Structure 1
Amino acid sequence: MPEVNPDKLNALVGRMVGDLGAIGTGALVVLGDRLGLFKAMREAGSLTAAQLAARTGTHERYVREWLSAQAAAAYIEYDPGTDRFHLTPEQEMVFANEESPAFMAGAFEVLASLWIDEPKVSEAFRTGRGVGWHDHSACLFRGTERFFRPGYNANLIGSWLPALDGVVGKLERGAQVADVGCGHGASTVLMARAYPQSSFTGFDYHAPSIERARKSAEEAGVSGNTRFEVSPAKSFPGTYDLVTFFDCLHDMGDPVGASAHVRQSLKSDGTWMIVEPFADDHLSGNLNPVGRVYFAASTMICTPASLDQEVGLGLGAQAGEAKLRQVVTAGGFTKFRRATETPFNMVLEARP
């Protein structure tokens, strides 16, 4: 047996206690989100367990335990003098306001799918085969849209599109746009609402997501300049002023093939906008809290999805700019740059 440093062991165990608490609390966040407990707290302000149960049609004893767990996690606040619970404005933004740029409840749904689909990924580890996006639990599809949408709300119209050379002017005058890998259509709908003179087509190979995207467009009142079609990234039809890929290029089995098809689908002065998870080009630069989340998702979702497809390049969610540049230029693009970034995303611009 190697000699164990007790201080290092105690520190590691301490971190494990924190991680175990976070994992357990995550399931309760999903539960509270689905039952409407967070939103009811936002509407009501300070309230007792009995009052929250009455407002949500749930059982008081369960609600009391849920509230206690959330308070222990510092996700909600507890007043021992009145035996009441409440959300701070900051907690409301994270757990109860879906339009907030800091809304995170959707992320917990994504992580729930990691546990649900672990047996499939375990088998993939043994066989080397992939696990397609379509083979995952439905909570992944719903959670991904809800996780990414706040970031798109906060950045897409205000900073990401303006960082591209001349694109906003085209959109304001009227452009043809393809949003590839659109999922439930959050990015497509957001752009369509902001630029009513332009026409937007969302493409995704996953038919159930396209059905949901069509409903989202109807609910948002943008069906007039938006449509959604089932199509893979290597064969979507049409010619466009702007093609967008939001957090999906690294999931593709043949991203070089997708790049070549985008090149063929762009007008001579067109632009390809690629939004990818933020990553350093070297592993050591990604060993941080953001990289920890992305590597977990990449291991269980992104890499298996790529390996399930032809070529199976397996870029992973932490590919980094250098690898992405290689993919884009191999597809025939001659101009490539990082237009802007956030702590969670890189926005890349490619031109013919």
Structure 2
Amino acid sequence: MSEPDRKAVRAFSRRLFDLYTAAGLTLMIDVGHRTGLFEAVAQGPATSAELAERAGLQERYVREWLGAMVTGELMTLDGDRYALPPAHVPGLTGGGARNLAPMAGMVPLMGRNLDGIVRAFREGGGLPYEDFAPDFTGVMDGLNRRPLDELLVDAWLPLIDGLPEQLTGGVRVADVGCGTGHALVVLGRAFPASEFVGYDIAEEALARARAEAAGLPNVRFEAADAAAFRPDRPFDVAFAFDSVHDQADPAAMLRGIHDALVPGGRFVMLDMAASSDVAQNVGNPFAPWIYTISTLHCMTVSLAEGGAGLGAAWGRELATAMLGEAGFTAVSDRPAPGQALSLLYSAARPA
């Protein structure tokens, strides 16, 4: 093998260090999100002491954190006053879908189980969902809540022809793998004439769901394995939000959803925007993140149960094929507005 070009070696070393720096800054973003520092600095330029007072924190820690923010070019420094550039405010603060600060929490959450992941690389198997609990529930809820609030009713549902009108008129709706159930709370408030039932196997998530849905008579939740739920009556519409790819038996889940629908019933699935072919994902700026969270969570929790291990990057081609194999027709997908990581699938049980 010939000696590599020295400039190329140095350039790659710099890229590696850039990656490590970005990982460190991700942890600092998580700190800023958890402590309310971003919200504090968004109120206006301030010294480290003023920001610490606004957020109710220790100034010495705030000052060191600000050093990372300024040198990492997330914030600016003018004299002794720190500021958040206006273009950075939506990405780090507020209740909108553009606030990506909650995503930073995925990095420490995934990283804490690296020893088990490395062991699974050598021995097989995986890490069960319980190894990520209870923190995983809270992180995912914080990550998904803003897009659901802002986009589900106004941006996503109108893409499915006639669905908003159907929900307005009153139908039975299921959310399979509902997690903390926030999607059904949003839908239950928007469409009071419809009945909504969420299914999940995680009791801590269902406890949060029931607490939030208190007072909504058209929303309820049941504990059930997504691959084996059997409703007492069929549904007109079913949803699955990023819940299929990490199931132990995703094929059984899709068949179960198909069979739980009335003839002509609709299935709407939100899942990762990726191809099933790695080569087709080269150049997709989101692909490294998708493969990473898949390795460190989605795939391993399935393999821990002896499951299919689809992973988050199961992709459009395989998803479409599996929907067809489950009996669905009229399968289509499109980008989910405001959520570049996701595709919105629509399918139907034949009438």
Query: TM-score w.r.t. structure 2 length?
Result: 0.92
Mapping 1:151-300, distance limit 5 Å: 151-218=147-214, 223-238=216-231, 239-287=234-282, 288-300=284-296
Q: Is there any run of 5+ residues in structure 1 with no aligned partner, and where?
A: none
Deviation at 1:158, TM superposition (A): 2.1
SS of corresponding position for 1:227: strand
Mapping 1:42-57, distance limit 5 Å: 42=42, 44-57=43-56
Aligned amino acid, residue 74 of structure 1: E
Conserved? CA contact 2:273–2:335, under 8 Å: no
CA distance in 1: counterparts of 2:173 and 2:334, whole angstroms: 19
Q: Give the % identical residues.
A: 30
Deviation at 1:2, TM superposition (A): 4.4
Mapping 1:1-352, distance limit 5 Å: 2-42=2-42, 44-80=43-79, 83-97=80-94, 99-218=95-214, 223-238=216-231, 239-287=234-282, 288-310=284-306, 312-342=307-337, 343-352=340-349
CA distance in 2: counterparts of 1:202 and 1:86, whole angstroms: 43
Aligned amino acid, residue 73 of structure 2: A
Task: Count residues with an aligned counterpart.
Answer: 344
Conserved? CA contact 1:163–1:340, under 8 Å: no
Query: TM-score w.r.t. structure 1 length?
Result: 0.92
Distance 1:135 1:337, change over 3 A: same
Aligned amino acid, residue 332 of structure 1: G
RMSD of the alignment, in Å? 1.8
Cα-to-partner distance string for 1:72-120 (whole Å, 9 max, x where unaligned): 112222213xx111223332212221x2121112211112111111112
SS of corresponding position for 1:165: coil
Conserved? CA contact 1:110–1:139, under 8 Å: no
CA distance in 2: counterparts of 1:110 and 1:181, whole angstroms: 19
CA distance in 1: counterparts of 2:206 and 2:2, whole angstroms: 55
CA distance in 1: counterparts of 2:27 and 2:271, whole angstroms: 27
Conserved? CA contact 1:204–1:230, under 8 Å: yes
CA distance in 2: counterparts of 1:163 and 1:346, whole angstroms: 12
CA distance in 2: counterparts of 1:87 and 1:217, whole angstroms: 36
